[in-house]
Structure 1
Amino acid sequence: MTVIDIGGGFRPSGAMRPAIHLIGLPTDVNSSFERGAAKGPAAIRAALVSDRGNSASESGLELGTDIDLVDCGDLPLTDLDVEGDDRAIAAAVARAPLPILLGGDHAITYPVVAALVARHGPLNILHFDAHPDLYADFEGNPRSHASPFARIFEGGHAKRLVQVGIRTLNRHCREQADKYGVEILPMADFHASHVPVLDGPLYISVDLDGIDPSEAPGVAHPEPGGLRLREVLAAIHRQTAPIVGADIVELNPARDIGDITAILAAKLVRELAARIALNHEGESR
């Protein structure tokens, strides 16, 4: 099988499974504390193609032979016109049958989900994070990376939102969660078996600060007491519904140590791509 390298990604010419499109969204204009997440997509790609690892997922499926992963490169976002950047993100997602988005800050999830809803209708969302990101607005910015899920609910884009790993729930976000009926699985007494198996269409959003900083230090808002990667993968592997998209956000390479967060994020790309492929294959049978 011929493997075609596209912008650092992989595309097998004879793959039978549906193509999964990798799209970088290098923007951090809506970050509230420290910028740097715009450099995340490049760091994840570098780890994804590095000879330090290989292309295999834990399911046995491999990028380039079993999984048709098309790297579409980074969108040329401006960080000067948020509405214009949102339109560009929506247009790119509309062209990608099964996208995995590389952030960037978590604000990108709102235009991505809105674009997918135009195709699939309201989504069930599985969200890994230290923070609920439900602020009505944060520091006067309604498009803050602390607010995407409030915007998603206002737009009627979510049927169900399950948040995993939360350990910074303040009064305002607790009220927002009650308002929108968000299901929060806090870290206290957490076990991966507590994560429900969601119906489709399913979207998965991974904020890397949901993972404990001992495993993922390269984030702007590290929060001790977090998820282990094994717990995240166990929760993802429980999902059997069609996954219509996913994102991995908030990698700040300037805060990384020996690229370990980027390497972890690259593993998540492989595992999410494999789960998307397997679930869609199961649906077609």
Structure 2
Amino acid sequence: MEAVGIRGICYDSGSSYLKGPAGAPALIREALRSGMMNLYSENLTDLNPWETWDLGDFEIKDYFDIEALTREHLTRKRKLFTLGGDHSITYPIVKAYAENYGKLDILQIDAHPDLYQDYEKDPYSHACPFARIMEDGLAQRLVQVGIRTLNPHQEAQAKRFNVEMYTMPAGLPELPLQFSNPVYVSLDIDALDPGYAPGVSHREAGGLTPREVLTLLQRIEGEVVGADLVEYNPVRDQDGMTSEVGAKLMKELLGLLI
């Protein structure tokens, strides 16, 4: 069994504002294979055979099909890298992961906490996945970095679930980030300042630079067993800029997994 599988989850029915992230996976892959960049991560991991690891893209109609699909893929690959899709996909993915790995820690890099108990009467909105994950006891530890859209409800939820939250006003965590359990990394591309990644549905100024995100990823201490890259919205992109940033982030996430 090969160690890593790459797949696209083409789903944006959890989006609360603009649709479009369902079309993201193919465009990030296109940027990666364009010849614009080499296929080595910054730690010199060779990613040249990445297309042989690719399981393809999956059009999702029923939300919880994502969980069943992930469970099936984990029988074929020990680790998975998922191109989304909106952020709602992380909950069913982590449900399947928790069955495989037992104790999990999660690093979420994001502008938004995604801790709403429900959003617009939808408990499976992309604004809610980490509330579902934590109330189901699927993660021992949730570390959030890049947050800059906190409100009183989500602050109360963070306290309820004992979330380790690093807001942008408070600053970044001390590195290295150390984890004692297997780590799942969920990277919402809107964590970046929209000047670097305009192709997102919810642009939120005052965000992270690409280098800050890359340094954060490179300074993880612990075994990374899965990752997703979500919320790229091609409808909002400018000259393919965000797909190219996404391809760079994809390389570094794969470098962590391999």
Question: So what's the TM-score if we normalise by structure 2?
Answer: 0.94
Among residues 159, 162, 165, which one is paired with 2:143 in the alignment? 162
Q: Indicate conservation of the 8 Å contact 2:64/2:92, yes or no.
A: no
Aligned to 2:197: 216
Tell me the secondary structure at the aligned position of residue 257 of structure 1.
coil
Within the alignment, does 1:64 sit opposite 2:48 as a pair? Answer: yes
1:14-63 per-residue CA deviation (whole Å, 9 max, x = no partner) reads xxx95311110000001000000000111111111111112111111221
Tell me the secondary structure at the aligned position of residue 137 of structure 1.
coil
1:85 positional shift: 4.3
1:237-263 per-residue CA deviation (whole Å, 9 max, x = no partner) reads 111211110000000011111111111
Q: Indicate conservation of the 8 Å contact 1:103/1:247, yes or no.
A: yes
Superposition RMSD in Å: 1.8
Q: Indicate conservation of the 8 Å contact 1:40/1:253, yes or no.
A: yes
Among residues 9, 12, 35, which one is paired with 1:25 in the alignment? 9
Write the distance in 2 (CA, Å) between the matches of 1:261 and 1:35: 16
Write the distance in 1 (CA, Å) between the matches of 2:39 and 2:4: 15
Mark the CA change 1:217 to 1:230 in structure 2 (over 3 Å): closer, same or farther: same
1:109 positional shift: 0.3
1:96 positional shift: 2.6
Q: Indicate conservation of the 8 Å contact 1:164/1:195, yes or no.
A: no
Write the distance in 1 (CA, Å) between the matches of 2:246 and 2:93: 19
1:121-161 per-residue CA deviation (whole Å, 9 max, x = no partner) reads 13100000000000001000000000000110121101000
Q: Indicate conservation of the 8 Å contact 2:39/2:48, yes or no.
A: yes
Tell me the secondary structure at the aligned position of residue 193 of structure 1.
coil
Counterpart amino acid of residue 73 in structure 1: G
Aligned to 1:243: 224
1:1-285 equivalent positions in 2, closer than 5 A: 19-64=3-48, 70-78=53-61, 81-191=62-172, 193=174, 196-277=177-258
Q: Indicate conservation of the 8 Å contact 2:104/2:182, yes or no.
A: yes
Could you tell me which runs of 5 or more consecutive residues in structure 1 were left unpaired when the two chains were aligned: 1-16, 278-285
1:83 positional shift: 3.0
Q: More displaced, 227-236 or 90-99?
A: 90-99
1:82 positional shift: 2.2
1:193 positional shift: 3.1
Q: Indicate conservation of the 8 Å contact 1:25/1:101, yes or no.
A: yes
Write the distance in 2 (CA, Å) between the matches of 1:196 and 1:49: 31
1:194 positional shift: 5.3
Size of the alignment, in residue pairs? 258
Write the distance in 2 (CA, Å) between the matches of 1:240 and 1:85: 28
Aligned to 1:5: none
Larger radius of gyration: 1
1:89 positional shift: 3.9
Q: More displaced, 106-115 or 91-100?
A: 91-100
Write the distance in 1 (CA, Å) between the matches of 2:203 and 2:77: 32
Tell me the secondary structure at the aligned position of residue 248 of structure 1.
strand
Counterpart amino acid of residue 43 in structure 1: L
Q: Indicate conservation of the 8 Å contact 1:19/1:98, yes or no.
A: yes
Counterpart amino acid of residue 33 in structure 2: V
Could you tell me which runs of 5 or more consecutive residues in structure 2 were left unpaired when the two chains were aligned: none
Mark the CA change 1:55 to 1:202 in structure 2 (over 3 Å): closer, same or farther: same
